[in-house]
Amino acid sequence: MKANPIIGLGTPKQAWTASRHLAEVPTLDIGTLVPEGARAVIIAPHPDDEILGSGGLMKQLVDAGRELQLISVTNGSASHPGSQHWSPERLSVIRPLESAEALRRLGVNPADLRWVRGGFPDSGVATRERELREFLGRYLQAKDVVFATWCDDGHTDHEAVGRAAAAAALAAGATFHEVPIWAWHWASPEDVRIPWARACKIVLDSQTLARKRHAMQAFASQLLGDPQIGLPPVLSADALERLLQPFEVVFL
Ligand SMILES: [Zn+2]
Gap from CA of 234 to ligand 1 centroid (Å)? 10
| pTM check: above 0.75 | yes
Q: Residue 67's beta-bridge partner residues?
A: 39
Gap from CA of 190 to ligand 1 centroid (Å)? 23
pLDDT on residue 9: 84
Gap from CA of 158 to ligand 1 centroid (Å)? 6
pLDDT on residue 2: 64
Over residues 239-252, mean pLDDT: 96
pLDDT on residue 8: 81
Over residues 178-194, mean pLDDT: 96
- Cβ-Cβ contacts under 8 Å for 199 (sequence gap 6 or more): 25, 249, 250, 251, 252
Residue 35 to residues 61, 66, 160, Cα–Cα distance (Å): 10, 9, 27
Over residues 118-144, mean pLDDT: 97
How large a percentage of the chain has pLDDT more than 90? 94
pLDDT on residue 129: 97
Gap from CA of 47 to ligand 1 centroid (Å)? 7
Provide the mean pLDDT of the chain: 95
Report the alpha-carbon distance of residue 163 to residue 226 in Å, rounded: 32
Q: Decide: helix, strand or coil at residue 6.
A: coil
Gap from CA of 182 to ligand 1 centroid (Å)? 8
Q: Could you tell me the sign of the dihedral formed by the alpha carbons of 9, 1, 189, 50, in that order?
A: negative
Helix or strand run (H / E) with residue 92: helix 88-106
Of 58, 9, 73, the closest CA to residue 235 belongs to: 9
pLDDT on residue 174: 98
Gap from CA of 74 to ligand 1 centroid (Å)? 9
How many degrees, rounded to 5, is the angle at CA 129 between CA 126 and CA 130?
A: 155
Gap from CA of 48 to ligand 1 centroid (Å)? 7
pLDDT on residue 124: 96
Helix or strand run (H / E) with residue 40: strand 39-44
Over residues 62-73, mean pLDDT: 96
Over residues 225-249, mean pLDDT: 93
* Per-residue pLDDT at 1 exceeds 70: no
Gap from CA of 49 to ligand 1 centroid (Å)? 5
Over residues 97-123, mean pLDDT: 94
